[in-house]
Structure 1
């Protein structure tokens, strides 16, 4: 973070200096919510939490070098005290992040949203932007009202780009995050069924995602909305922004296009990138045909920043997977391939994963280990049955359905009378591991996919750790 005195931080956060804190004391290190990450010059933010209260670790943070503690309960340490509990502490953090962004006019803020693919696209974007200049981006899916300001507060005078993933659990959430760190470039990937239970319908999801393009500056001030031309709900957001619109996709009308798209024998996408009259061949390191749209979104941003098509192709080809449990491929010594895509799931990403499995399997025996898709609301049952039917069309030999909430997947597959595959219903992760231990043979491929709460990454860990041992 940029160096600030405590009295300046108190003014920004609307807090009171107390204890042994002095107005001229300086915070010039990171802002952290874990006392174990405190270092000299840092600011420790104490939050109540469900199981532990951060205020109880104030002394540990200060002993590690933290200049002060920002919290809502008095502690025996140099402190900035906020009235109103955790909600006001988070609000204070947001005000501090906004103040820091305003002090960094040369840092470009780029926001990425969508129903799926946000984290992968943000990771790609951060990697390619770092080739141009110092870049800040959140780890994993650190994309909410707490992770957003904490990421921004890592920026300092050297920062050239701040690449942010913006998520929403309801209307107004993205608009709030954009007030914390106003983006100049906004990327909207897709509008799907994720969080249908919270939003109610796809139109409301589109309203929420479109808050990003509404927050952009107008075209005369450099605002750019990067929109997916192949998603009607996304390209329709062009009418909601005064920023300049740049489209990407497979459509002939897209400004940034992918042509001659296919997968190599390892499931990695390749295509010809076309922007204007220039073209270049791209070979991605990421697995799955769905990665093409993510890469095109990143290409559009790079082009807006002045990078040539050939250099964009090189940068995309050298970027790899960063965040865990997203199409992680492990080859065991016995020839079994484990594909861990268990971080999260919705109908769109589940379909993409099954298509990728079909490509990777080729002549091999394919196992699909699927958990339930959360937050689908009234469409829960129908969407799970639809995925079950899709399994039967995807070349899967053995379907393992984990947990009662995913039962619709098994029912959907069972409804397809002529499917030659086998469906196994298991109660939990432990039973899934036991079934796979018994049935997997050398050269088989097994993919794991489900919402985060299904915990299928534990199945992948067991399969890969045991094989290594």
Structure 2
């Protein structure tokens, strides 16, 4: 973070300062006392299971020089007393970003979308770090706590800041966009993820559009031309608009898209340049859109596209449990993609599985769990996913968990399957069946929302039967 005195911070966040006004915060801003280092500001955030105020002594022992608190607690460091530390953290982040931007060097890229945010954020972080000091969230820090936490990692030398803007309801993305004021805003997709929570896909679109609505006339909106809901945002922004997609009338577009067990390749077309080959190690043709968004951003920042492409070509998988590919010693291939699931991402993962099966000749096995937060869409979307599995001619469907049972029912009603779809209420039952059924000559996809906990089953399948 920028070096600020406790008095300066108190004025910025409208805090009552208890203690010295002259102490300088020269380190990071942390909500976890275990991550505190010399010079840090510790944010004593109350949580569902614990309370940061209980860990101020730990923070002091680790080097904290000041604390942002909601109530005064014992401790020999200055305390900045506010009514809500999360709100104060956001105010401080907004100040720090604006202050660094005023120096004229910092470029801020904001990313939102129902799917693909984390992969795109990772690609951007890797690319931009090749060209200057870059701050990009290490995890999915995309809410009212995580996003400002990431913003507060910047300093005077930071050239690029990547912000992932997650949706938490109407106004949530606007709040974060006003905080970081992106120079480039990327809209990846409006899908059914969280549609149940938000009250329909139209409301999801309204929330996602808050990013482009907050862009200034000097900013750029990068829109996915293949998504009709995203393209409606062209009229919702004051910013300049460019598009990316699979059709040649997009500003940036991909052609010759091809997927294999080794990754995904395509030709990247950009304005006034020769097409360039991209060869991702990441599985799934849906990641082409994430790559295009990252490369278009690099191009608009006047960065070397060849270096940008080399960088994402060399990237491993996005993050843990996201299309994570493993090969067991006996030949079994496991794709663990059970960190998140929406109808769009599950369909894309199933299509990838089917294509890999055709290419390798291996039997395809889809292990599917619940897609959470679909609300009124849940019945139809789970039923439809089972029918999609049949139409893709997958070798075996294994459905686990009561919330996912309709996937199994949809599959059995769609086709003349005889045992190709199995349903188990408990993960342990599903694992036992899989261990008895798998021979090593299969490709297994494990896909569900995080709450279904199938990611641990994916890990367990990497261990051969004893």
Q: TM-score, normalised by structure 1?
A: 0.95
* Counterpart in the other structure of 1:256: 252
Equivalences, count: 459
Q: How far, CA to CA, are the matches of 1:276 and 1:345 in structure 2?
A: 34
Is the 1:29–1:41 Cα contact (8 Å) retained in structure 2?
yes
Is the 2:6–2:78 Cα contact (8 Å) retained in structure 1?
no
Output one character per residue of 1:435-454: Cα deviation in whole Å (capped at 9) or x when no partner.
22222111222111111110
* Counterpart in the other structure of 1:82: 81
1:432 and 2:430 aligned: yes
Question: Relative to structure 1, is the Cα distance of residues 420 and 257 closer, same or farther in structure 2, using a 3 angstrom cutoff?
Answer: farther
Q: How far, CA to CA, are the matches of 1:33 and 1:445 in structure 2?
A: 41
* Counterpart in the other structure of 2:239: 243
* Structure 1 consecutive aligned stretches of length 4 or more whose deviation exceeds 6 Å: none
In the alignment, structure 2 segments of 5+ residues that lack a partner are none
Question: Relative to structure 1, is the Cα distance of residues 351 and 267 closer, same or farther in structure 2, using a 3 angstrom cutoff?
Answer: farther
1:388 and 2:396 aligned: no
Output one character per residue of 1:292-343: Cα deviation in whole Å (capped at 9) or x when no partner.
1111111110110113444443233223324211000111111111111001
Q: How far, CA to CA, are the matches of 1:263 and 1:387 in structure 2?
A: 22
- The equivalences for 1:410-421 within 5 A come to 410-419=408-417
Is the 2:282–2:318 Cα contact (8 Å) retained in structure 1?
no
* Counterpart in the other structure of 1:154: 153
Q: How far, CA to CA, are the matches of 1:408 and 1:79 in structure 2?
A: 56
Question: Relative to structure 1, is the Cα distance of residues 305 and 420 closer, same or farther in structure 2, using a 3 angstrom cutoff?
Answer: farther
The alignment yields a C-alpha RMSD, in angstroms, of: 1.5
Q: How far, CA to CA, are the matches of 2:71 and 2:411 in structure 1?
A: 54
Is the 1:143–1:167 Cα contact (8 Å) retained in structure 2?
yes
SS at match of 2:139: coil
* Counterpart in the other structure of 1:5: 5
Is the 1:429–1:458 Cα contact (8 Å) retained in structure 2?
no
Counterpart pick for 2:68 among 57, 60, 70: 70
Output one character per residue of 1:348-376: Cα deviation in whole Å (capped at 9) or x when no partner.
00000001111222311221111111111
Q: How far, CA to CA, are the matches of 1:419 and 1:273 in structure 2?
A: 41
Output one character per residue of 1:248-291: Cα deviation in whole Å (capped at 9) or x when no partner.
01112101010111123x15111111112421111111110101
- The equivalences for 1:270-285 within 5 A come to 270-277=265-272, 278-285=274-281
Is the 1:32–1:44 Cα contact (8 Å) retained in structure 2?
yes
Output one character per residue of 1:207-249: Cα deviation in whole Å (capped at 9) or x when no partner.
111111111110xx3x100001111111121111111111101
Structure 1 residue 128: Cα displacement = 0.7
Structure 1 residue 429: Cα displacement = 2.1
- The equivalences for 1:16-415 within 5 A come to 16-18=16-18, 21-77=19-75, 78-84=77-83, 88-105=84-101, 106-218=105-217, 221=218, 223-264=219-260, 266=261, 268-277=263-272, 278-362=274-358, 363-415=361-413
Q: How far, CA to CA, are the matches of 2:289 and 2:418 in structure 1?
A: 33
Q: How far, CA to CA, are the matches of 2:266 and 2:345 in structure 1?
A: 21
Output one character per residue of 1:366-389: Cα deviation in whole Å (capped at 9) or x when no partner.
211111111111111000000000
Q: How far, CA to CA, are the matches of 1:61 and 1:243 in structure 2?
A: 43
Is the 2:20–2:78 Cα contact (8 Å) retained in structure 1?
no
Q: How far, CA to CA, are the matches of 1:442 and 1:326 in structure 2?
A: 22
SS at match of 2:444: strand
Is the 1:368–1:396 Cα contact (8 Å) retained in structure 2?
yes
Is the 2:43–2:69 Cα contact (8 Å) retained in structure 1?
yes
Q: How far, CA to CA, are the matches of 2:301 and 2:363 in structure 1?
A: 45
SS at match of 2:161: strand
Is the 2:118–2:318 Cα contact (8 Å) retained in structure 1?
no
SS at match of 1:210: helix
Range 435-444 or range 370-379, more displaced:
435-444
Is the 2:205–2:230 Cα contact (8 Å) retained in structure 1?
yes
Is the 1:33–1:44 Cα contact (8 Å) retained in structure 2?
yes
Structure 1 residue 418: Cα displacement = 2.5
